[in-house]
Structure 1
Amino acid sequence: MIEKLKKNKFLATVTLIYGILFITNTDKAVLSVKNSGYYIKEMLIIMPVVFLLTSLIEAWVPKKMIVKHLGDNSGLKGYFISLLLGSVSAGPIYAAFPVCKTLLNKGASISNIVVILSAWAVIKVPMLANEAKFLGLKFMFIRWIFTTISIIIMGYIISKLVKREDIPMEEEKIEEDTILLRREYCMGCGLCEKMSPQYFKVENKKAKVLNKNISYKNKKKVKEVQDKCPAKAIKVG
């Protein structure tokens, strides 16, 4: 029990605060729970779409393309593409983090990731439209110009202060002769079940591993499943 609490310190602390709040101020506690419920509901709607997007980037966008257009040597073109990606994106800013992590893993530069995140946060197209409506077109346009310049400068500075090795990039460790299935990436195509039914089965439109331990004679076949998985959801140790 104590070990579980140590591993989930944040959750335990929040639960304790809620408990104290319910005792000392029930009305505020109820309001707080309602607000938390709203944001949890929002995340449950948005995050599956985000995971699908990240799995598509992982599976279908070649690393060479990311490096060419968003990598360290992409220059002004990279900044322009990053601004465009951030500006046309939908959803709250927390939805940008897994997308940017995937792009970073595939070779995008830190400066371009900063630009995408910042553009997503402060110069999205729907936001600019509302800004022009309430504060005027001139205000919106001038603010957009200076914000864009600031974002690019900030991206450059952060890329000099923060190196790639400062960012946690490690992959989930896989034991030798075992299967790791990232279900959030799975598209439910059923290819793994067709190729290797003794190890995979599709349930509720998602693949599951029937036996994570691979025998020596079957390892080559399971490796083929890994290579052909369109979502790159399967990893073999």
Structure 2
Amino acid sequence: MILTEKIKKNKMLFSVSLVYIILLIVNRQKAVESFNNSMYYVIEMFQIMPVVFILTSLIEAWVPKKVIIDNLGEKSGYKGKLFSFIVGSLSAGPIYAAFPICKTLIRKGASISNVVIILSAWAVVKVPMLVNEAKFLGVEFMILRWILTIISILIMAYMVSVFVKRDSIPKLEQYENLEEEDMRVNINRDYCIGCGICEKLSPDNFMIENGKAVVIDGEINDRNRESVKNAVEKCPVNAITL
């Protein structure tokens, strides 16, 4: 029963492990090459993601929700789209670094369409990439490709915003479950990065111990419901579970 639950919670990890096992049996050399390539990206992620988690923590703690709503929200209009392109184009790092940041932006009021623009610009419209593109393929090629890419991104952003709703994003609305009387709060210490946001927002329920958050009082009641709600909502790595 415990193994089954772990498999359900980590479907992707178990699926990839199964593929590696099958590949190891069928073609040992390819399995070794695939594993070495995977480890390269895993090491890269371990180097980059701590910085990303710190950045998301800073966004949570220091950027007011109203600022996000005004500049990236549903009613931000052309200003929001322009700002999204700028944010995505000037960002550094691989595309997977953008996912936790964008989820934090959505939690704080950014629209789905603007987040699509940020992700897309992050992937294909980075300023350093445009400079190199112009150098190797020519300015005319770069400009035309850039214009067509912008048009495609705008169309894609609109379509995604139509078909994907906020409540379909995993754990985004998790804190709304706090209205239920029998809920308790827990910390997944494997995910926790010890940023201290939960302790700051709800000191009666959380504290930092040995570099990780721990639950002092997991019971949710009328007195602490709002503070726990804020902690669940603003945890940059979704380590707080109900």
Q: Judge same fold: TM > 0.5, yes or no.
A: yes
Q: Percent identity?
A: 52
What corresponds to 1:123 in structure 2? 125
CA contact (8 A) 1:114 1:155 kept: yes
From the superposition, tell whether residues 176 and 207 of structure 1 become closer, same or farther in structure 2 (CA, over 3 Å): farther
- Residues of 2 paired with 1:160 and 1:97: CA distance? 20
Aligned residues: CA RMSD: 3.6
CA contact (8 A) 1:21 1:29 kept: yes
From the superposition, tell whether residues 210 and 75 of structure 1 become closer, same or farther in structure 2 (CA, over 3 Å): closer
Structure 1 portions without partners, runs of 5+:
none
Partner-residue secondary structure (3-state), 2:92: coil
Aligned pair partner of 1:100 in 92, 99, 102: 102
Partner-residue secondary structure (3-state), 1:91: coil
CA contact (8 A) 1:51 1:184 kept: no
Per-residue Cα deviation, 1:14-37 (whole angstroms, up to 9, x for no partner): 222222222221111110110110
- Which moved further from structure 2: 162-171 or 53-62? 162-171
What corresponds to 1:17 in structure 2? 19
What corresponds to 2:195 in structure 1? 187
CA contact (8 A) 1:110 1:158 kept: yes
From the superposition, tell whether residues 63 and 139 of structure 1 become closer, same or farther in structure 2 (CA, over 3 Å): same
Partner-residue secondary structure (3-state), 1:200: strand
Q: Offset at 1:62?
A: 0.8
Q: Offset at 1:162?
A: 2.7
Q: What is the TM-score with the length of structure 1 in the denominator?
A: 0.78
Q: Is residue 56 of structure 2 the alignment partner of residue 51 of structure 1? A: no
Partner-residue secondary structure (3-state), 2:213: strand
- Residues of 1 paired with 2:168 and 2:40: CA distance? 34
Structure 1 counterpart of 2:173, one-letter code: E
Q: What is the TM-score with the length of structure 2 in the denominator?
A: 0.76
- Residues of 2 paired with 1:136 and 1:162: CA distance? 37
Partner-residue secondary structure (3-state), 1:107: coil
- Residues of 1 paired with 2:226 and 2:116: CA distance? 37
Aligned pair partner of 2:173 in 164, 170, 174: 170
Partner-residue secondary structure (3-state), 2:14: helix
What corresponds to 2:207 in structure 1? 200
Per-residue Cα deviation, 1:65-98 (whole angstroms, up to 9, x for no partner): 1111111111111111000000011111111111
Partner-residue secondary structure (3-state), 1:209: strand
What corresponds to 1:150 in structure 2? 152
CA contact (8 A) 2:88 2:119 kept: yes
From the superposition, tell whether residues 115 and 213 of structure 1 become closer, same or farther in structure 2 (CA, over 3 Å): closer
Structure 2 counterpart of 1:170, one-letter code: E
Structure 2 counterpart of 1:80, one-letter code: L
Per-residue Cα deviation, 1:90-135 (whole angstroms, up to 9, x for no partner): 1111111111111111111111111111101110112112211210
Q: Offset at 1:13?
A: 2.8
What corresponds to 2:31 in structure 1? 29
- Residues of 1 paired with 2:28 and 2:150: CA distance? 45
Q: Offset at 1:164?
A: 2.7
Structure 2 counterpart of 1:134, one-letter code: F
CA contact (8 A) 1:188 1:202 kept: no
CA contact (8 A) 2:196 2:213 kept: no
Structure 1 counterpart of 2:195, one-letter code: M
Give the total of aligned pairs: 228
